[in-house]
C-alpha cells in the first residue's frame, strides 16, 4: 500500500513539475514577443525673444583719453537706443576690454628688430534683450548710422529664442508617444496579434532647426538661434508587449 502511495505522489510531483516547466517556457516565449517602434513629432513655431549685440571701440596713445572717448560713446549709444524705444532694463553694457597694440619693426633683411607701441584699443559691447522682435531687428539694421556721428559701431546678427520651450517639448513628447503607439498597434493588428503594455520608452534627441534652412540634425541636438521661424522635433523609441 505504501508503495502505491509513493508512486501516486511521485506521479503528481512529476505532473506539477512538467506544468511549471511548461508555463515557464510559455512565459519566456511570451515575454520575448514585443514590437519596437520609433514615433516622431514636429511643430513649427515663431521665436518670441530676440538678443542683439553691437560693439564699439576707441583707440588712443593715452589710456585716459581712450577711456573718456569710449564712455562718451556709451552714453550716446544708450541715448540712441532709448530714442528707438529700448527700455533701460532691456540693454546691458559689458565691461571694457583693453588691449595694448604694437607694430613690429624689421631690418633690411626682414629680421625682427623690435616693436613700437601704437596705442590702447578699448572695446565694449551693448546687448539688447527684448520680446519686441520687430523693434530690435530694425535697430540691428540701422544702428550703424551712428558711424556718421563718429562712433565706430559694429552690428552683429540677432539671435532668436523661444521662452516656452518646456511646454513645447512636453507637447511634442506626447505626440511622439502617440505616434509610436499607433505604429505599433498597426503592426500588431496586421500580424494577427494585439498590442500590450509598454515595456520600455527612450526619448530621442530634441532638435530645433530653422525653417527652410536645410540645416542638418546633430547627434547632440541642434539648437538654431539664427532663424526667427523654427521647427522643433523629437523622437520616442518604445517597446510594446504583444498579446
Q: Residue 219 has what pLDDT?
A: 73
φ, ψ dihedrals at 235, nearest 5°: -125, 155
CATH topology of domain 49-161: Alpha-Beta Plaits (3.30.70)
What's the whole-number mean pLDDT along residues 106-112?
83
Confidence band for 8, pLDDT divided at 50, 70 and 90: low
Confidence band for 25, pLDDT divided at 50, 70 and 90: very low
pTM of the complete model beyond 0.75? yes
Confidence band for 38, pLDDT divided at 50, 70 and 90: very high
Could you report the per-residue pLDDT of 72-108, keeping only the tens digit for each?
A: 999 999 999 999 999 999 999 999 999 999 999 888 8
Mean pLDDT, all residues of the chain: 87
CATH topology of domain 32-46+163-242: Translation Initiation Factor IF3 (3.30.110)
- Start and end residues for every CATH 3.30.70.2970 domain found in the chain: 49-161
- Start and end residues for every CATH 3.30.110.170 domain found in the chain: 32-46+163-242
Which of these ranges, 93-107, 189-203, 210-224, has the smallest mean pLDDT? 210-224
> Is the pLDDT at 26 greater than 50, yes or no?
no
Amino acid at each position: 500500500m505504501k508503495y502505491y502511495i509513493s508512486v501516486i505522489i511521485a506521479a503528481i510531483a512529476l505532473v506539477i513539475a512538467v506544468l511549471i516547466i511548461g508555463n515557464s517556457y510559455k512565459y519566456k516565449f511570451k515575454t520575448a514577443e514585443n514590437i519596437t517602434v520609433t514615433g516622431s513629432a514636429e511643430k513649427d513655431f515663431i521665436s518670441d525673444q530676440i538678443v542683439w549685440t553691437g560693439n564699439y571701440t576707441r583707440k588712443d596713445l593715452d589710456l585716459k583719453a581712450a577711456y573718456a572717448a569710449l564712455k562718451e560713446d556709451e552714453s550716446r549709444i544708450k541715448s540712441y537706443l532709448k530714442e528707438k524705444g529700448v527700455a533701460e532694463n532691456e540693454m546691458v553694457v559689458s565691461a571694457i576690454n583693453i588691449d595694448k597694440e604694437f607694430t613690429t619693426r624689421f631690418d633690411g633683411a626682414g629680421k625682427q628688430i623690435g616693436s613700437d607701441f601704437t596705442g590702447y584699443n578699448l572695446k565694449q559691447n551693448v546687448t539688447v534683450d527684448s520680446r519686441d522682435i520687430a523693434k530690435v531687428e530694425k535697430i540691428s539694421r540701422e544702428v550703424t548710422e551712428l558711424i556718421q556721428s563718429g562712433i565706430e559701431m559694429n552690428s552683429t546678427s540677432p539671435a532668436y529664442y523661444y521662452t516656452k520651450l518646456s511646454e513645447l517639448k512636453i507637447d511634442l513628447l506626447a505626440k511622439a508617444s502617440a505616434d509610436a503607439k499607433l505604429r505599433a498597434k498597426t503592426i500588431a493588428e496586421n500580424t494577427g496579434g494585439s498590442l500590450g503594455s509598454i515595456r520600455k520608452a527612450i526619448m530621442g534627441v530634441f532638435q530645433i532647426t530653422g525653417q527652410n534652412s536645410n540645416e542638418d540634425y546633430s547627434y547632440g541636438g541642434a539648437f538654431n538661434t539664427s532663424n526667427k521661424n523654427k521647427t522643433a522635433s523629437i523622437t520616442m523609441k518604445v517597446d510594446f508587449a504583444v498579446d
